A and B are shown apart, each in its own frame.
Chain A
C-alpha cells in the first residue's frame, strides 16, 4: 500500500545534506563547500519499495535558535509542518559539534533518525565510532552512510520508514540539564500546561525556550522577558552569574561530550590533516593575499583564453546555419521579411550570444571548483578585515564572488548574512560584480578594439566593478546603514578535492540556465529587436526609420557625453535590460543587417561586426566607456525581480535601479572625458 511519508533533512552546514538529498531524489542541485549553500528548502520525490516519500532539504544550521533566517526556516518547518521523520545528517568527522544540533532536534519532539555521514573521512582521521553504542546512548536509530558514494542509503530509508510508520519504538534519551535547570524546566512545564494554543509543540522543548527567553516563543505565549536581559547581567559586574541561555548551551555540550566519550575513540594526537597542510600555504600570512589575487586573475585568463578556442567554431557554425537557412527559405519561396526574421533576427541574435557560451562555461567551471574545494570560506577569512573597513562582513565577499557568475543567486546568497543592514548593503552592491552575461559585451568590444589586451581589459573591468562596489558599500555604510559592526564567526570547512561529478553537475546546471535563456528570453528578445528595428507604425521600413531607431535616438543625447551617442548604442543598452547578453544580440542584428555576416572577414572578427562597429563611430575610448556603462548600469529584469523579492520593498528596488544607472553614467563620463583629454 502506498503511503505518503514526509522526510525532513536537517543538519549542520557542510554536513552533506544536499548530496544526500540528490542521492535520494536523483535531483541535481549544486553543492558547494561553504556554509549556507541551501538557503531555501527544496523538495523532491523519493520512491522506495512501495512508499511514496517526499524529501525536504532544509537549510543547514548549527542550532535552532531564532538567530538567522535559515535557522528559522529549518525550525519552523519541523515545528509547523510536522514531517513524519527528521533525518539528521551528522558529519562523522566533526561529530561533536554536529551532535549539538542533534540534541536540539531530538528535543523538538519529532522522530529523528541519525545519518552518520562521511564515515570514510572520520576513519581516515583516526576516529573510531561505535555506532550501536551511539544509537543506544541517544535513544535514536543511527545509520552510517557515505552520501557521495550512495552507501547506506537503503538502510537509512528502511529505518526512516520504520520510524515514520511506528514499526519500531522511538524513545529518545533527553539531555539532563542538572538539578537546578531541571527544576526550572519542570516549573515551566507546569506553567505551560495552563496555556491552550500550544498543542503542536513538545512541552519540554517549549519549556526550555521559555527559560532561554527565545523571542519567538515568548511572543507566541505572550510572555514578557524577565528583568535580567544579558546587558543588565553584564552591568551587575558578577561575571560568574550566567544567563540561562549559556547554561543550557553548556549543559547540552557537556552531555554531548559524555556521549562522545562513551562511543568514540579519538586519535591520540591530532596529526596535521592534508587539509591543514594545504591551509598553511593558502591562508599564509605572506602568501595568502598574492595567492588570492593570482587565483582570481587565473580564473579570468583561463575562461577567456580557453573559451576562445571554441569561440570561432561556434561562430562559424552559426554563420553556416544562417547561410543554409537563407538558401532553403529562398528556395521555398519565402517572403523576404521571413528570411530576414529567421536569418538576421533569430539566428543572428541567438548566435551572437551562443558564441560566448564556452567562455561563460569555463568561468562557471572555475567558480564551481572554488566553491566545491572549500576555498570560498577562506576568501571570507582572508578578506574579512578589508571588508570590515567598508562596513561589511567577510562573509559578504562570498555572494560577491558568486556575482561573477550571476547576480540572481548572489542576491539570494546574501541570506547567509545575519544582519539585516549588512544584507541590504550587500544586495545593493552585488549587481556591480560583473556577471557572466556581461562578459560577451566585453569580449566583443575588447576583442575588436583592444585585440592585444583582451584579457587584461576584461580583468580590469571586473576590478572596476569591485572598486565601485567597495565605494558604494562605504557610501551606504556612512549614510543609509549606520550602525555597529556585524558578527563574524564562521566555520572553515576542510578542503575537499572537487569531484568531477559535483563540478559537472553545477556547471551543467548553470550552462543549462544560460542555454535556456538563449532559448527563451534571448530568442524572444531577438525577435522583438528584429521587429522594432524593421518596423514602425506604418509598416516595414528602413532601420533608420524604425521604432527602435526612434527610441535609440531619444536616448542618444543621454549617452552622447559618454562617447556613444548613436541610436544603435542606445537601443542596444535598453534591450540589454531583458538580459545583458542581449546587448550583443542587438548589435549583431543592427550591424548584421547592414553588413552581411561573415563578409567583413577580418582576422578574429566576431560575427563580422568589427568593421561595422568602427564604421559606426566607435573608437577605442568610446568602446571602453560603453563597456564600463554596460558593466555598471542597472541589472537585468531577472535581478531586479530577485532584489524586489529579497528586500521585499519597492523602495530599495527603485533605489537600486536609479543608483546603478547614475553611477554607470558618472563613471563612464569620467572614463570617456578623461581618456579623451589625455588624447587616447
Chain B
C-alpha cells in the first residue's frame, strides 16, 4: 500500500509522487498546483473531521479526505 496524503496527520508534510484519479477533481487539483514533486503540509482537519486544510505552494487549500486518498506521497 502506498502512503497517501490521507495518511498524513496534521502538522506532517511530504512530497507528492503522483496524483491518481480522473475527471474534474483531478483537473482542479492539478490547476491548484497539486502535482507530482510538490511539497505539501497538512495544516488541520475541519471541526467535523473532513475536509482537510493543506499548505501547498505557499497558500492554503482545502480538499476532502476521499480525494486526499488519491494523492500518493513519496
Chain A residues packing against B (C-beta within 8 Å): 62-63, 65, 67, 93-97, 100, 229-231, 233-234, 239-240, 242, 245-246, 249-250, 253-254, 266, 270, 279, 283-286, 288-289, 380-382, 384-386, 394, 418, 485, 487-494
Contacts and interface: CB of A to CB of B under 8 A. Distances in A.
Contacts of B45: 285
A487 B50 contact: no
Contacts of B51: 381, 384-385, 394, 488
A484 to B, nearest CB: 10
B9 interface: no
B53 A253 contact: no
Interface string B44-66: 11111111010101111111101
Contacts of B37: 250, 254
16 contacts: A62-B32, A65-B27, A65-B31, A94-B57, A96-B33, A97-B33, A240-B18, A246-B19, A254-B37, A279-B60, A289-B47, A381-B46, A384-B51, A384-B62, A489-B25, A489-B29
B18 A94 contact: no
Given A97-B33, A230-B22, A285-B44, A489 B63 contact: yes
A385 B49 contact: yes
Contact of A381 (B30, B53, B57): B53
A231 B20 CA distance: 11
B74 to A, nearest CB: 13
Give the interface centre of B18, B33, B38 by most chain A CB atoms within 10 Å: B33
Given A96-B58, A279-B60, A289-B48, 17 more contacts: A63-B31, A97-B33, A230-B22, A246-B26, A253-B38, A266-B58, A283-B44, A283-B46, A283-B53, A288-B46, A288-B47, A289-B47, A380-B62, A381-B46, A384-B50, A487-B67, A488-B64
Interface string B1-36: 000000000000000001111111111111111011
Contacts of B57: 94, 96-97
B33 A253 contact: yes
Give the interface centre of B23, B29, B47, B66 by most chain A CB atoms within 10 Å: B47
B46 A384 contact: yes
Contacts of B44: 283, 285
Nearest to A267: B58
B65 to A, nearest CB: 9
Identify the 4 closest CB pairs spanning chains A and B, nearest first: A230-B22, A288-B47, A63-B31, A385-B48
B36 to A, nearest CB: 6
A62 B30 CA distance: 10
Contact of B35 (A240, A253, A492): A253
B28 A491 contact: no
Nearest to A125: B58
A239 B18 CA distance: 9
Contacts of B36: 246, 250
Contacts of A100: 31, 33
Contacts of B24: 67, 418, 487
Contacts, number: 131
A382 B48 contact: yes
A489 B22 contact: no
B22 A234 contact: yes
B20 to A, nearest CB: 7
Give the interface centre of A97, A233, A239, A288 by most chain B CB atoms within 10 Å: A97
Contacts of A488: 51, 62-64, 67
Contact of A492 (B27, B29, B48, B53): B53
Contacts of A490: 61-63
A253 B37 CA distance: 10
Contact of A385 (B19, B31, B46, B53): B46
Contact of A286 (B29, B47, B58): B47
B10 to A, nearest CB: 9
B35 A249 contact: yes
A136 B38 CA distance: 25
A491 B64 CA distance: 12
A101 to B, nearest CB: 8
A218 to B, nearest CB: 15
A493 B32 CA distance: 13
A246 B30 contact: yes
A2 B19 CA distance: 52
Given A100-B31, A253-B35, A489 B50 contact: no
B18 A489 contact: no
A284 B47 contact: yes
Given A286-B47, A487-B25, A487-B67, A381 B62 contact: yes
Contact of B27 (A67, A240, A288): A67
Contacts of B49: 385
Contacts of A266: 58
Nearest to A380: B62
B33 A250 contact: no
Give the interface centre of A242, A266, A490, A491 by most chain B CB atoms within 10 Å: A490
A656 B19 CA distance: 40
Nearest to B10: A285
B71 to A, nearest CB: 11
Contact of A285 (B25, B28, B47, B66): B47
B28 to A, nearest CB: 5
Contacts of A386: 48
Contact of A245 (B27, B28, B38, B58): B27
Contacts of B48: 289, 382, 384-386
A307 B62 CA distance: 37
A249 B30 contact: yes
Given A254-B37, A283-B47, A289-B47, A97 B64 contact: no
Contacts of A94: 57-59
Nearest to A240: B18
A22 B38 CA distance: 36
Contacts of B28: 62, 67, 418, 487, 489
Given A231-B22, A492-B53, A382 B27 contact: no
Contacts of A253: 33, 35, 38
A94 B60 CA distance: 10
Nearest to B22: A230
A295 B30 CA distance: 35
Contacts of B62: 380-381, 384, 488-492
Contacts of A394: 51
B46 A249 contact: no
A386 B46 CA distance: 11
Contacts of A65: 27, 31
A473 B25 CA distance: 22
Give the interface centre of A246, A386, A489, A493 by most chain B CB atoms within 10 Å: A489
